Structure 1
Amino acid sequence: MDPDEVVRLVEELKISTCHEEEQTLTIDTDALQIGEQRTGSCLVAKIFSPKAINREAVISHLPRILQAIKHIEICSVGDNLFILDFKSLQDRKQAFSGGPWNIFRNLIVFRELCGLQNVTAMNFDTMPIWIQCYNLPLVLMHKDFLQKLGSQLGDVEEIDTRENGFSMGKFARLRVRLDLRQPLKKHIRLKIQSGQEDVFVLLSYERLPDFCHNCGIIGHSFRDCENSWLEKGKLTYDSWLKAPLRGSGPKAKYPNSPPS
């Protein structure tokens, strides 16, 4: 049965049986603990694609993509939705924390199972990703300011600095949990003091999967973009948003007057 159909039927039952006497079963603590121990090695994965990805291809290719050392049992629970049962906790940790990952150029988002949560009702709207921040004045490349900078993008999970709290290099690195429903941000404008020019901090995203160069949202290409407020085919997001891993800056120069 299709997961959406299951959800619909459950909601109908909640309404239709509210005045009926029905058989119920109380869940005890032992049953929950046994289940939590068994599913502690699992992760739920959603592949962001407007089309259904071939299940057999995912099951075949995903362990190699995740660089798993031991076997992973993979089960499909819906279109582009899978449960992964890891035989190695190290492999599980690598999959959960080492991303973002992509398969056939489509983003994979992982979630941990939590209590009685229904797999098909889980929220996959956010994802942590390392962001490289270029053109940032050296005096601002300290942990306190980088925390404020990253909060403009999402919830800051980690800041890559030296022991003294400073980031010394071509760019600063932040691991930020992004809202996948929102367009990628290309820059952050810093207003300094009166009479001084604003500073544009350029943003480049590590391990970034394919995204829409039309609207800047991850999960579809510009050919599948349905955002009607944009002029179809007028691409405003360039490939330099994909950062080389710990490498040099964006290859393309940023326009002299970035959009506000």
Structure 2
Amino acid sequence: LGNTIVFPYSYKSSYKSNLLGSSTSPIQDVNMEEEFELKDGDVVTEVVDGIPTIIFFDQVHKYIERRMAKTIIMKLLGRSIGFNVLLKKITSLWCPRSPIQLMDLENDYYLIRFNSEDDYNKVVFGGPWVIFGQYLTVRLWSKDFSTSQSKVDTQLVWVRLPGLPEGFYSDFLIRAIGQLLGQVVKLDAHTNSARKGRFARLVVLIDLKKPLMSKIKINGRIQRIKYKSLPIICFSVWHVWT
């Protein structure tokens, strides 16, 4: 735990050096760390019910969100994988154009920070990714994520709406429809321009704890749902084998 590496460097830093921001680490240059100074109004420390407590306010949260803007959380379903093996596999699979930072976390989760927006979008929206025949789950970093979650409970997936009536080919209408399935993260460029009328495509963050819908109704009409980039599915009882 605590391994960190930046591709294509062979340097591997400790968690402590990352935390302290050692000046010898190439990570600082790769990720262009923003200078941030805590001010009096940014943090409060106190003792609540005998427990030392620290509270960070808006400016700190905004800084964290900027710092983690191109960060994803990954986990390989069905098996554990070592740090160096995973690094070798993903660099071969993704061929990133800019350095990436990989850090191993608890419960077989990995965190990856990208320097390039193109590399980030390729990984987030370009799946499915498979390593050793197992599905590599990808989720956007969020402040609510915790490594104590032993099972993957959300997943980004491409969704198709085959046969969607032409009148609904509009950004805000397709987003509204997609919200029935989960949080809409991205629309296909062709979907937005209606250049591909065969089906609408969008990326949705689905909740794996809920039943997976194979169809919805739009104004009383059945609309089929097609999913891409999913592991083993059972539509009657949604289950991800881990």
For each residue in 1:1-34, what CA deviation from the matched residue of structure 2 results, as whole angstroms up to 9, or x when unmatched?
8xxxxxxxxxxxxxxx9776x9x797999xx69x
Q: CA deviation at 1:170?
A: 1.3
Letter paired with 1:205: Y
Q: CA deviation at 1:61?
A: 0.5
Aligned to 1:62: 90
Aligned to 1:120: 147
Aligned to 2:227: 205
SS of the residue 1:120 aligns to: coil
2:179 aligned with 1:151, yes or no? yes
Change (3 A) 1:166 1:25: closer
2:138 aligned with 1:109, yes or no? yes
Instruction: Report the identity percentage.
Output: 20
Aligned to 1:185: 213
Q: CA deviation at 1:146?
A: 2.7
Aligned to 1:237: none
Letter paired with 2:209: R
Q: Is the 8 A contact 2:217 2:223 kept in 1?
A: yes
| Structure index of larger Rg | 1
SS of the residue 1:61 aligns to: helix
Aligned to 2:107: 79
Task: Please identify, of 55-64 and 43-52, the stretch whose mean Cα deviation from structure 2 is larger.
Answer: 43-52
Letter paired with 1:156: V
**1-side partners of 2:187 and 2:113: how far apart?**
31
Q: CA deviation at 1:133?
A: 0.8
Letter paired with 1:126: T
Change (3 A) 1:189 1:90: closer
Q: Is the 8 A contact 1:70 1:91 kept in 2?
A: yes
2:159 aligned with 1:131, yes or no? yes
Letter paired with 1:120: T
In the alignment of these two chains, the number of paired residues is 192
SS of the residue 2:231 aligns to: coil
**2-side partners of 1:55 and 1:215: how far apart?**
36
Aligned to 1:219: 240
Q: CA deviation at 1:81?
A: 0.7
Q: Is the 8 A contact 1:127 1:178 kept in 2?
A: yes
Uncovered stretches (5+) of structure 1, i.e. residues with no partner: 2-16, 193-198, 225-260
Q: Is the 8 A contact 1:133 1:201 kept in 2?
A: yes
Q: Is the 8 A contact 1:142 1:161 kept in 2?
A: no
Q: CA deviation at 1:110?
A: 3.1
Query: Higher strand proportion, which one?
Result: 2
Change (3 A) 1:44 1:120: farther
Q: Is the 8 A contact 1:141 1:167 kept in 2?
A: no
* TM-score, normalising length: structure 2: 0.56
SS of the residue 1:149 aligns to: helix
**1-side partners of 2:49 and 2:192: how far apart?**
65
For each residue in 1:110-157, what CA deviation from the matched residue of structure 2 results, as whole angstroms up to 9, or x when unmatched?
33365xx78525796333333111133334444454334222212233
RMSD between superposed Cα atoms in Å: 4.3
Q: CA deviation at 1:48?
A: 5.1
**2-side partners of 1:191 and 1:129: how far apart?**
25
**2-side partners of 1:25 and 1:139: how far apart?**
54
